[in-house]
Amino acid sequence: GDSVTQMEGPVTLSEEAFLTINCTYTATGYPSLFWYVQYPGEGLQLLLKATKADDKGSNKGFEATYRKETTSFHLEKGSVQVSDSAVYFCALSDESGGYQKVTFGTGTKLQVIP
Amino acid sequence: GAVVSQHPSWVICKSGTSVKIECRSLDFQATTMFWYRQFPKQSLMLMATSNEGSKATYEQGVEKDKFLINHASLTLSTLTVTSAHPEDSSFYICSAREWGKNTEAFFGQGTRLTVV
């Protein structure tokens, strides 16, 4: 079955530091890949997405590139801010079987300190 | 983007009572909605897939009789936690995808259920 593996957290960074959160996946078909962000006490918000190999998703300074050869979708940001503190979920959606299920990674908590 | 509204945002109930959580797609039609449960410091666990006009598909290990799902229209799905117990206390989140479009899933804001 499909699965998503994320680096374990928590990740603690100083403001303006470089962020990388690793994400790898296994899927039977050709999935779309997503990063979601969850702020404390809230639901999930889509951060960025990529629907095919070599696509780069970007939003709010975050980027991730769909790497089919390494089955990865690592999240990066050049300079984090305190307001980026949240839990980040890597996810995939594989509709090869016509089933719109989204599979999530375990989430990585990011804490940015001033 | 599309909006999914979940209600209530939080609820406290007594053990043995039932609680209903609503999930609405406000500006699009969703033939399929998903219900997740999130334990503290853990990822989202898919509980069931709700299909409009038909029975929900439950994931392995999820009790159908305890977590009743109804998807009566293209914009509304409900999750009823029956005879709730303290171990049912959790964060429940719904999501929906727009019918006919290959887009991301849109999530509700979640419902914090506390059973006392």
Tens digits of residue pLDDT in B7-39: 999 999 999 999 999 999 998 888 889 999 988
Residue B46 confidence (pLDDT) above 70 = yes
**Whole-angstrom Cα distance, residue B74 to residue B76?**
6
Residue A101 confidence (pLDDT) above 90 = no
Instruction: Sort out which chain A residues have CB atoms less than 8 A from B93's CB and list them.
Output: 43-44
Q: Which residue of B has its CA nearest to A39?
A: B109
Contact: B34, A45; criterion CB under 8 Å = no
Task: Output the average pLDDT for chain B.
Answer: 89
Question: How many Cα neighbours within 13 Å face the side chain of A84?
Answer: 29
pLDDT of residue A64: 98
HEC string for chain A: CCEEEECCCCEEEECCCCEEECEEEECCCCCEEEEEEECCCCCEEEEEEECCCCCEEEECCEEEECECCCCECCEEECCCCHHHCEEEEEEEECCCCCCCCEEECCCEEEEEEC
Q: Which residue of A has its CA nearest to B108?
A: A43
Contact: B104, A34; criterion CB under 8 Å = yes
Residue A100 confidence (pLDDT) above 90 = no
**Whole-angstrom Cα distance, residue B7 to residue B11?**
9
pLDDT of residue A44: 86
Q: List pLDDT tens digits, range B84-102.
A: 999 999 999 999 887 776 6
Q: Which residue of A has its CA nearest to B43?
A: A106
Contact: A101, B49; criterion CB under 8 Å = yes
- Report CA B42 to chain centroid distance, whole Å: 17
Distance from CA of A60 to the nearest CA of B (A): 16
Q: How far is CA A69 from CA A32, A66, B112, in A?
A: 15, 9, 40
Instruction: Sort out which chain B residues have CB atoms less than 8 A from A100's CB and list them.
Output: 32, 49, 97, 105
Name the pLDDT band for A99 (thresholds 50, 70, 90): low
pLDDT of residue A102: 81
The mean pLDDT value for B3-9 works out to 92
Residue A97 confidence (pLDDT) above 60 = no
Name the pLDDT band for B1 (thresholds 50, 70, 90): low
Instruction: Sort out which chain B residues have CB atoms less than 8 A from A44's CB and list them.
Output: 44, 93, 95, 107
pLDDT of residue B111: 94
The mean pLDDT value for B35-64 works out to 87
Contact: B32, A45; criterion CB under 8 Å = no
* Nearest alpha carbon to residue A90 among A66, A73, A65, A109: A73
Residue A103 confidence (pLDDT) above 80 = yes
Name the pLDDT band for A17 (thresholds 50, 70, 90): very high
* Higher pLDDT among residues A93 and B92, named by residue: B92
